[in-house]
Amino acid sequence: MRFTTLAVVVDNRAREGFRSCWGLSLLLTGDKTVLFDAGPSGEELLHNLSLYGQNPADIDLFFLSHSHVDHSGGLRALQDAGFTGDVIMCDRTLSSGDRERTAEQGLQQPGMGLIAIRLESGGLWEQSLLADTPVGRVLLVGCAHPGLKRIWEVACTQEIPFGVVGGFHDAEPFPDLGQARLLGPCHCTKQREAFRKDFPSSFLDLAAGDRIRLDSEAL
């Protein structure tokens, strides 16, 4: 399965009409629909989803990068609004069926053309997501607490990602990121301007309300 668009639903900044808040949520659409993180509250999440025309009941999977409230706080509101799909937690997998798996560090495959990169750092589990698209795999990161370079290196054991989008936290640019054709640092990224300076051709200045087409005609 492949995803053809990536939308920023929740971010610290927002385009006109969208609401901003300290948090992150990204929406993958294509053969299936996946919501990556849920921001800190349902109010902003549901408002911005509605501007994209996205019904929570039509989301197939919710993927949580880590347990901090700025990424998980909107999940209950999402479920109250009609979402009944599977939930992939950072430390375990829950579903509408009976299965549950405890997280293991490394690569996991939840299906739907997705690969989870689960890493532990300082007692905190965080997972990033590799998603298949027509232009290659795109890497989504929540806050990159285990280190963006470490996450990147694990992702590259599969293939070099076409792009990286999400919260880069306190990571600084490193040369290997020059292999990506799309860089979208947002949310908690402290060195946004350094990434813009070092990778001007791939840098995207993202905010809630931005949608990226992930096909050969658009990029």
Average pLDDT over residues 178-199: 97
pLDDT on residue 183 = 98
* Percent of the chain clearing pLDDT 90 (strictly above): 83
CB count in 10 Å sphere of residue 124 = 15
Q: Go through 36-70 and write b for each residue having 16 or more CB atoms within 10 A of its CB, e for each that does not.
A: bbbbbbbebbbbbbebbebebeebbbbbbbbebeb
Averaged pLDDT score across all residues of the chain = 92
| Residue-level pLDDT at 92 | 53
Would you kindly state where each structural domain of the chain is located, as residue ranges? 3-213
- At 219 the pLDDT is 53
For the domain covering 3-213, report its CATH number. 3.60.15.10
